[in-house]
A and B are shown apart, each in its own frame.
Chain A
Amino acid sequence: MTRLEMTRRTALLTSAAIAANVANPLRAFAQETPRKGGVFNVHYGAEQRQLNPSIQASTGVYIIGGKIQEALVDLDANGQPVGVLAESWESTPDGKTITFKLRKGVTWHDGKPFTSADVQFTAMNMWKKILNYGSTLQLFLTAVETPDAQTAIFKYERPMPLGLLLRALPDLGYISAKHLYEGSSDIRQNPTNLAPVGTGPFKFVKYERGQYIIAERNENYWRPNAPYLDRIVWKVVTDRAAAAAQMEAGDIQYSPFTGLTISDTARLSKDKRFIVSTKGNEGNARTNTIEFNFRRKELADIRVRRAIAHAINVPFFIENFLGDFAKLGTGPIPSVSTDFYPGPDTPQYPYDKKKAAALLDEAGFKPGAGGTRFSLRLLPAPWGEDISLWATFIQQSLGEVGIPVEIVRNDGGGFLKQVYDDHAFDLSTGWHQYRNDPAVSTTVWYRSGQPKGAPWTNQWDWKNDAIDKVIDDAATEIDPVKRKALYATFVKEANTELPVWMPIEQIFVTVITAKARNHSNTPRWGSSSWHDLWLSA
């Protein structure tokens, strides 16, 4: 069996190389010159309904569409906006006009030139009308003017902070080709969405549903000498344990966004053939939540919400169940968000069972028969092992202070419907995804007046005028320093009122072959274009 020997020999060489790297990492990397060629196999856990990132903002789309299509801007290694299809940008002092100068000489994979008309079409017809979060971000976008092929001028009805737009565009700024969508009756059903055409370093080749997706090197890519890889193959593996086995067998080189089980991830982190890290996912931070339904009179009492927070030993949970990949959270803006994190000096609720009991007594919920004060229904979201463990931990912790909790499990659709539309919950728990700027997907958890049924928004029947005002002011504040101060106030208020508690911070975990180079070098690397990724021999 030659295959066997080859694989074992290469494996041995790799571990030798790693041992060398560990001994002297800088020298080992400095000596290497990038190698062209190779196939990069990627674990793809959950198939989406389509692959176009201009109409769906989710990691499941970026992991594929983000290599084929490109956005106006991306984030660089320091998390700062860097031009991709846009070369430069400027805003007028009133914040109502933002001008992008576009890159010259870029062509679509079908050979047609990329122009400002594509930007205009995508912004007005996709971002503003279809793209989730995009439609909120671009709510006050009135027009995109195109004086020439390389200039796109965004006109806003209300001031749009340039910083907000630039931090949102890496996710919400992918461009689609106008000539492929124009005139089609329904953009959502356009066949191009399943065979995307872009300007990116990789060209779509084939999508076999339930099996794999293939993209190959774009020979006419606008960055010189890029990309390095010959092809990327995304393999659909729904079973997490099977995906870990395929990684060990060498069939998969990269599992993004915490795609493996906690135990397999821990096991592979000790294996020299793989690198297990949160690096490269800083732009995909999330917090675990406890959401309170104010329709329950007990939970509408702030003392009860605080008591529940005090009753749960979060550091114990993190240490024993989540390990190194999670840390204590301090509110809705996670600490990785250097531009907005207000520091930990906001109201916090450290573990204190006596205080929890005292608060509950004070609120008038004294233990009745069998020590029970009142009982609650908890709905955990079905995504992620951590949520399931966290739900059980909440149940046991609250049981100890006399609040028996019944856990009601649902699948994805059922969970969203029951929590955000039917409001049939007392407590619910899931993830809040932080997308680089609090105005993108964070403040909707607190702002009142969210339409019924909109998932991951304030459906708690809770309204606070002060918080509403801070959120609205911050969304249109052009001065970055004042914006940061407004969001600090927002976090303080949110932690005081506690309609949602966000006590755990997590970043997605990447498991990748140790042969990969130039990986995880930006805060949203899994979603980025991989134009500089290469595999060592």
Chain B
Amino acid sequence: MRILSLAGRRLAASIPTLFLILIGVFLLLQFAPGDTVDAMMAQMGGGDAATARELRKFYGLDLSIPMQLGNYLWRLIRLDLGFSSIYGKPVATVILERLPPTILLMTASLSFAFFFGLLLGVIAARGVNKWPDTLISTLGLVFYATPSFWFGLMAIVVFSIYLQWLPAGGFEDIGAVQTGFGRTIDIALHLILPTLTLGLIFLAIYLRIMRASMLEVLNLDFVRTARAKGLDETRVVVKHVLRNALLPMVTLIGLQAGTMLGGSVVVESVFSLPGLGRLAYESVVQRDLNTLLGIVFVSALLVILVNFLVDLLYARLDPRIQAEA
């Protein structure tokens, strides 16, 4: 249980960081010219000064910046994320509505990238400098270098417009009201293209890391020992090498889960998915400070949670970590 207390300590240490991040974002947004009322005027196509003044009062923008920040932090301590000016709803509700598509997309593409990255990485390492390695590494580079919006649009052109196999966008079919299993299938169909688009880039990273990590471990002494005691190659790779080579991959998952939880503005926009990334982008453009800070807060919480789990997973994969702690 020492690992648990270690992870718990790290959890406690992240709370001040969280507050610093929130204050930083708050101040950063003050540097952006214009506030949410200006953004609203831009959207409406005009309005008079009296309306603007009244709206500023309504949103609490007539207070000084330290007062606004103080109010925000005081609300946060009471676990109140505030009221969203663009949605006219509590920020917590807005974020909860957007969380499921983001988590679905993120889990799907991370799993896809992790699984195939692992597989391709192992294959490439086993046949290092032979044609499978060259092919896989080249493909990885191509995926990594291709911008995701282009990938997404090309996927729509091929699979939705020409082949008409998959829907071109959206989270689910609006025409037919579906429930239960039918709806699950429908959502899954809508998520195939975005998952591939988002996953391919991460796949490239995972397979490079896996390949390098495998190559390193394959040359270690204990692998020679395993071979010397007569184990067949599959057992050596699966039982001895893979487990040790997985550590960097787990680290990477912890890091990338954070990036992906913030949502992917590009993929969500191209496929018209109602995720956190688009919400965050819109909040910045609309200067909806409460919503933006809420998203930062929730993403940060999720990142802390994921890192906590990664800490636990380390100990499971490599018992030495627990012992040294």
Question: Which residues in A have some Cβ–Cβ distance to B below 8 Å?
Answer: 1, 3-4, 7-8, 39, 46-50, 56-60, 130, 132-133, 135-136, 186, 188-189, 193-194, 208-212, 214, 233, 235-239, 241-242, 245-246, 248-249, 251, 383, 410-418, 421-422, 433, 441, 451-456
Is B35's CB under 8 angstroms from A235's CB? no
**Set B39, B46, B175, B279: member contacting A456, Cβ < 8 A:** B46
Are the CB atoms of A413 and B285 closer together than 8 Å?
yes
Q: In the bound complex, what is the Cα–Cα distance between A414 and B44 (angstroms)?
A: 15
- Which one of B64-72, B253-261, B269-277, B306-314 contacts A? B269-277
Chain B residues with CB below 8 A from A39, complex form? 175
Q: Are A209 and B97 in contact (CB under 8 A)?
A: yes
Contact A211 to B33, CB < 8 A, known contacts A57-B44, A415-B42, A416-B38: no
Query: How many whole Å from B53's CB to the nearest CB in chain A?
Result: 9
Please, how many angstroms separate the alpha-carbon atoms of A261 and B196 in the complex?
26
Partner of B286, one of A133, A238, A413, A415: A413
Contact A209 B274 (CB under 8 A): yes
**Residues in A whose Cβ lies below 8 Å from that of B43:** 46, 48-49, 58, 60, 412
Knowing A49-B88, A235-B170 touch, does A4 contact B164 (C-beta < 8 A)? yes
Collect the chain B residues with CB atoms within 8 Å of residue A8's CB.
164
30 A-B contacts (beta carbon < 8 Å): A1-B165, A7-B164, A39-B175, A49-B85, A132-B46, A210-B279, A212-B174, A233-B175, A235-B170, A235-B272, A238-B272, A239-B269, A239-B270, A242-B152, A246-B169, A249-B164, A251-B167, A251-B170, A383-B42, A410-B33, A413-B39, A415-B42, A418-B33, A441-B46, A451-B50, A453-B52, A454-B49, A455-B38, A455-B47, A456-B46
Measured CA separation A411–B286 after assembly (Å): 9
Residues of B at the A interface (CB closer than 8 Å) are: 32-36, 38-52, 55, 58, 85-88, 94, 97-98, 149, 152-153, 156-157, 160-161, 163-165, 167-171, 174-175, 269-272, 274, 278-279, 282, 284-287
Interface centre among B35, B88, B169 (most CB of A within 10 A): B169
Q: Which residues of B contact A411 (CB under 8 A)?
A: 34, 39, 284-285
Q: Measured between alpha carbons, how far is A130 from B46 in the docked complex, in Å?
A: 12
Residues of A within 8 A of B44 (CB): 56-58, 132
Closest Cβ–Cβ distance, residue A268 to chain B (whole Å): 12
B161 cross-chain contacts in A, Cβ below 8 A: 245, 248-249
Q: How far is the CA of A210 from the CA of B161 in the complex (A)?
A: 23
Q: A-B contact count, CB below 8 Å?
A: 181
Q: Is the CB of A233 within 8 A of B174?
A: yes
Do A251 and B169 form a contact, CB below 8 Å, given A49-B40, A209-B274?
yes
Chain A residue nearest in CB terms to B153: A241
CB pair B39–A242 under 8 Å, yes or no, is no
Given known A58-B44, A238-B278, A245-B157, contact A135–B97 (CB-CB < 8 A): no
B42 and A416 form a contact (CB under 8 A): yes
Say whether A58 contacts B45, CB under 8 Å.
yes
CB of A159 to closest CB in B, whole Å: 22
- The one of B32, B174, B272 that contacts A414, using a Cβ cutoff of 8 Å: B32
Measured CB to CB, the nearest residue on chain A to B155 is A245
CA distance A412 to B46 in the complex (A): 12
Residues of A within 8 A of B169 (CB): 235, 237, 242, 245-246, 251
CB-based contact A455/B272 at 8 Å: no
Q: Which residue of chain B is the closest to A412 with respect to CB atoms?
A: B42
Chain A, Cβ-Cβ closest to B33? A414
B270: A residues at CB distance < 8 A = 239, 241-242
The answer, among B41, B282, B284, for a CB contact under 8 Å with A416, is B41
- B153's partner among A135, A209, A242, A455 (CB-CB below 8 A) is A242
Of the listed residues A251, A413, A421, A441, the one surrounded by the most CB atoms of chain B closer than 10 A to its CB is A413
Which chain B residue has the least Cβ–Cβ distance from A241?
Answer: B153
Ordered nearest first, which 8 A-B pairs have the shortest CB separation? A413-B34, A210-B274, A412-B42, A451-B49, A417-B34, A413-B39, A132-B47, A413-B38
CB distance from B42 to the nearest CB of A (A): 3
Does B45 lie within 8 Å of A57, measured CB to CB? yes
Residues of A with C-beta under 8 A to B94: 209
Of the listed residues B38, B50, B164, B270, the one surrounded by the most CB atoms of chain A closer than 10 A to its CB is B38
Tell me the bound Cα distance from A168 to B306 in angstroms: 56
Query: Which A-chain residue is minimally distant from B269 (CB atoms)?
Result: A239
Bound together, the chains give a CA A398 to CA B284 distance in angstroms of 33
**Once the chains bind, are A235 and B174 in contact (CB under 8 Å)?**
yes
